[in-house]
Structure 1
């Protein structure tokens, strides 16, 4: 009996270490102190909307809480002065999603956009502010994929939807079959996680690489070992209230919980793209705020990718909140960030043409 218990304990410890994976603390640099900044007058209104989002499911539990959060996120595009045409994809020939086509967009220029929402909420509708502005600034037709969400589906199902959508977009535009002359992948938060996982998968499958990738406040490592996940919990108005209880749990419990929820080890590169081979990736731009919980996720990814020779640019914005881009164009800081993304995509196309 003693030998059995000893073996069981050793097995549990061994599996726990496998769930954690290799320590990546060597990628950390000096802790960031949020920089002084002068927020725009609209910044206060954005913070008010974030507080409303955090209260959307207050007092509710389970499915009711999730549905309330999903409904609130979808309502964020209501009343916006959008200029693009929003065209539903034809389900018999295309992945689920919608085309976002600005008046100046060229069908041969395409962007696959992967929305955020903790893999459980969000939709093409909830992120129309971003996709509308992206189509305008990049002169591209944006396909916002409506990937399968948890918990109704597995994490891997949503990622497969993104993989299928990318392959389909290479040969299909908004008007039917046609080759893409310029192809990019972009996403925010959980969608940024899918974006970074996707570009690593594309390389491994020897598929045509995108000309560029953009990840906004991405989650890169589900082992939750980056220092800012705890250091910035009080300065992150969006993620802090929701994830503060989790930061108080011992890491082994988080690793096992992640394994059970995602049905995948938190150290699996499909779930934690930071742990993939980051060599040979396309030009990639990462945006993150110095005061959000995921800033060290982005810094670790950038350090490792650059060391592997991949052209990754990291832009750390002062005093913003998680995925502030969703308040474009009425929040000046968000529109400035979107313009920088447009410049990056246009610059990537010029480099590809040389």
Structure 2
């Protein structure tokens, strides 16, 4: 009996040691300082919040009797059609080749040689170029250029790293190709929201290491940057995050060690690997990065830690936060006034990193 207990204790100790040394990233608590540029501090809930929440609720229709995969398919269809009632002042050109799938989005007057790669959110499970047109149309107008909104491969049909491969391939292709065909770019941007923000920040060090042309600037909206889930705002803001809280509140209560093991076993990649947790990577030598986040969402500290660590590494990174608003509130413009405010700041950032006299406002 003593031998059995000794074996159990040893196995527990080895599991703890493996978790600590292999799955857990560095201690980031020293980067929990400062709040960057704060907007709408102390503002009450927006009057447009009810409308935004109603749109979200339309994607969560009960689907009894369906398998998990069938439920995902239905969720994708509903998510993609969430903004089908909107009329866009833009031209959409499908893209479907060996290097990129999705669409070019061009607002009136867009310069085809000014290009932005936009990477949509949706937890790597849902979302598409179509679902995120409210953002990509606005990004085209603000940048004065064309936006390549890609449809990267989604989970669970595909491995987590397939999305990383697709963003890298699309970026390389976009450097030499625009909506009108092969042509050199005069300005390059990368942007993404939520899971797409994670992919955006993961892409930047790869571009640097591959010695490709760097973007003039990058934008990450509500990005998860730490797949080890060490940010204190994850449990602290579970009750105030209207979008992520209901889905992830129960997960936030689970022991972190168990979550690390589940993540590793499910995705086949260490949760502290910089490819999926960009906050743990080499953040030196990166282009200007603008990060937007809500102070009441679960990913607030993911964003803050990333910006502080990038700045400590010498890279120009800026954090801008809004109080009491939704995760990726930008997609609910004009319902949420905070969205309009955020786009003003994005426009300022784009004009600073790559001025363009003809850029629409």
TM-score (norm 1): 0.93
- 1:219 lines up with 2:250 in the alignment: no
Shift of 1:103: 1.2
- 1:182 lines up with 2:207 in the alignment: no
| 2: CA distance, partners of 1:250 / 1:167 | 40
Q: Give 3-state SS (helix, strand or coil) of 2:48's partner.
A: helix
TM-score (norm 2): 0.91
23, 45, 48: which is aligned to 2:27? 23
- 1:13 lines up with 2:16 in the alignment: yes
- 1:127 lines up with 2:132 in the alignment: yes
- 1:316 lines up with 2:357 in the alignment: no
| 2: CA distance, partners of 1:44 / 1:156 | 36
| 2: CA distance, partners of 1:345 / 1:57 | 41
- 1:136 lines up with 2:141 in the alignment: yes
Q: Give 3-state SS (helix, strand or coil) of 1:89's partner.
A: strand
Aligned match of 2:359: none
| 1: CA distance, partners of 2:91 / 2:82 | 18
CA deviations on 1:92-117 (whole Å, 9 max, x unpaired) are 5x411110011111011000000000
Aligned match of 1:252: 257
CA deviations on 1:296-328 (whole Å, 9 max, x unpaired) are 000111111111111101001111110001112
Q: Give 3-state SS (helix, strand or coil) of 1:98's partner.
A: strand
Aligned match of 1:116: 121
Aligned residues: 349
| 2: CA distance, partners of 1:82 / 1:338 | 16
Aligned match of 1:299: 304
CA deviations on 1:5-44 (whole Å, 9 max, x unpaired) are 5654443223211111222222223799994204443232
Shift of 1:140: 0.9
Deviates more, 1:125-134 or 1:321-330: 321-330
Distance 1:15 1:57, change over 3 A: farther
Aligned match of 2:78: 72
CA deviations on 1:149-205 (whole Å, 9 max, x unpaired) are 011001111110000000000010011110111000000000000000000111122
81, 88, 96: which is aligned to 1:82? 88
Aligned match of 2:155: 150
Aligned match of 2:244: 239
User: CA RMSD for the aligned pairs?
Assistant: 2.2
| 2: CA distance, partners of 1:240 / 1:9 | 32
Asked if 2 retains the 8 angstrom alpha-carbon contact of 1:87 and 1:98, the reply is yes
Asked if 2 retains the 8 angstrom alpha-carbon contact of 1:328 and 1:338, the reply is no
328, 332, 343: which is aligned to 2:333? 328
Distance 1:56 1:261, change over 3 A: farther
Aligned match of 1:279: 284
CA deviations on 1:107-166 (whole Å, 9 max, x unpaired) are 110000000000111000110110011111111100001100011001111110000000
Q: Give 3-state SS (helix, strand or coil) of 1:125's partner.
A: coil
Q: Which runs of 4+ in 1 moved over 6 A?
A: 30-34
CA deviations on 1:239-268 (whole Å, 9 max, x unpaired) are 000001101110011001111222111000
260, 267, 276: which is aligned to 2:272? 267
Aligned match of 2:43: 37
Asked if 2 retains the 8 angstrom alpha-carbon contact of 1:57 and 1:65, the reply is no
| 2: CA distance, partners of 1:58 / 1:333 | 33
Q: Give 3-state SS (helix, strand or coil) of 2:103's partner.
A: strand
- 1:50 lines up with 2:56 in the alignment: yes
Which residues of 2 match residues 335-350 of structure 1 at below 5 A?
Answer: 335-350=340-355
The unaligned stretches of length 5 or more in structure 2 are: 357-361
Asked if 2 retains the 8 angstrom alpha-carbon contact of 1:56 and 1:68, the reply is no
| 1: CA distance, partners of 2:182 / 2:126 | 31
Shift of 1:272: 0.2
| 1: CA distance, partners of 2:194 / 2:113 | 27
